[in-house]
Amino acid sequence: MKHPLKSESENQEPAAGCCRANINRRLVVGGIVGIAASPALAQGDSQNADAASAPPQPGDYLVRASGDDQTTPLTPEDIVPNSAPLQAWPADSATQTVRSDNWQNLLVLTRWDPAVLSPEGQKYAAGGVVAQSAICTHEGCEVTSWIPENFLMECPCHLSRFDPRQNGAVMQGPATRKLPALALKLDGDRIVVAAGLDGRVGG
């Protein structure tokens, strides 16, 4: 699926030499020359490249998608209650690989008093935090706007609105499908994925 905000070249498959996954592959190839007796290392690099583009998995932790610290696992305390979403990526807990090579993995996190969440939202939440896909189900723009008066997320492309407290439900079209949501749990104070996204990402 094409990303509507990306240029034609950005939507194409990455060219050789481009992007983290291909850089990893090049490192693997280079490693065969220099350390031919290290197939395990090559396999590990390949697995990391795959992990960077795989969808969120149970056991993943979450990290900020922007800012100075994009590696420290997020906790509920990192998310301001009743406020605009924080964008985040899932990260593979086994390899600490942030799954940011796939733009469809971008998430929006918000934090609430569990009492204001829908029954389904309460099941998905951890520490009052809920996570939904940041990719609009209409035509795949990033849902980046926030309507503070009624606590709704809005897509800037055609103004669809989604309610994070109702598990990403559509409150205003043209989108007709809710934002896919991730069930969360706490591992100590870290927010961790309990189950994969409950629907198809994007339009």
List of residues contacting ligand FES (CB under 6 A): 136, 138-141, 155, 157-158, 160, 174-175
Closest CB to ligand FES among 49 and 141? 141
| Dihedral-angle region of residue 75 (phi above 0 means left; psi in -120 to 50 means alpha; beta otherwise) | beta
Q: How far is the CB of 25 from ligand FES (least distance, A)?
A: 33
Closest CB to ligand FES among 127 and 174? 174
Q: How far is the CB of 49 from ligand FES (least distance, A)?
A: 29
Q: How far is the CB of 3 from ligand FES (least distance, A)?
A: 10
Closest CB to ligand FES among 21 and 155? 155
Q: How far is the CB of 103 from ligand FES (least distance, A)?
A: 14
CA gap 128, 81 in Å, rounded: 9
Q: What does the longest C-alpha to C-alpha distance in the chain come to?
A: 61
Closest CB to ligand FES among 97 and 137? 137
CA atoms within 13 A on the CB side of 172: 12
Instruction: Give 44's contacts (C-beta < 8 A, 6+ positions apart).
Output: 95
Instruction: Give 10's contacts (C-beta < 8 A, 6+ positions apart).
Output: 3
